[in-house]
Amino acid sequence: MAEQLPEKYADLLDNKKAFANLGTLNRDGSPQVTPVWVDYDGKHVRVNSARGRQKDKNIARDPRVSLSIQDPENPYRYLEIRGKVVEATEKGADDHINSLAKKYLGKDVYPFRQPGEKRVIYKIEPHKFSAMG
Amino acid sequence: MAEQLPEKYADLLDNKKAFANLGTLNRDGSPQVTPVWVDYDGKHVRVNSARGRQKDKNIARDPRVSLSIQDPENPYRYLEIRGKVVEATEKGADDHINSLAKKYLGKDVYPFRQPGEKRVIYKIEPHKFSAMG
The answer to whether residue A78 neighbours chain B at the CB level (below 8 Å) is yes
- Say yes or no for a CB contact (<8 Å) between B32 and A82: yes
Complex ipTM over 0.90 = yes
Q: What is the rounded (10 degree) CA torsion for B21, A5, A125, A65?
A: 10
Q: Which CATH class is domain B7-132?
A: mainly beta
What confidence tens digit (pLDDT) does each residue in A82-96 have?
999 999 999 999 999
What confidence tens digit (pLDDT) does each residue in B59-101 have?
999 999 999 999 999 999 999 999 999 999 999 999 999 999 9
Residue of A19, A33, A82 lying closest to B66 (CB–CB): A33
CB-CB neighbours of B127 under 10 Å: 14
How many Cα atoms occupy the beta-carbon half-sphere of B50 within 13 Å?
Answer: 11
Q: How far is A42 from chain B (nearest CA, A)?
A: 22
Instruction: Give chain B positions within 8 Å (CB) of A45.
Output: none
- Say yes or no for a CB contact (<8 Å) between B66 and A30: yes
- Say yes or no for a CB contact (<8 Å) between A70 and B34: no
Secondary structure letter of residue A10 according to DSSP: G
Predicted local distance difference test score (pLDDT) of residue B102:
97
Task: State how far the Cα of A32 lies from the Cα of A62, in Å rounded to an integer.
Answer: 12
What single-letter amino acid sits at A18? A
Task: Write down the domain spans for chain A.
Answer: 7-132
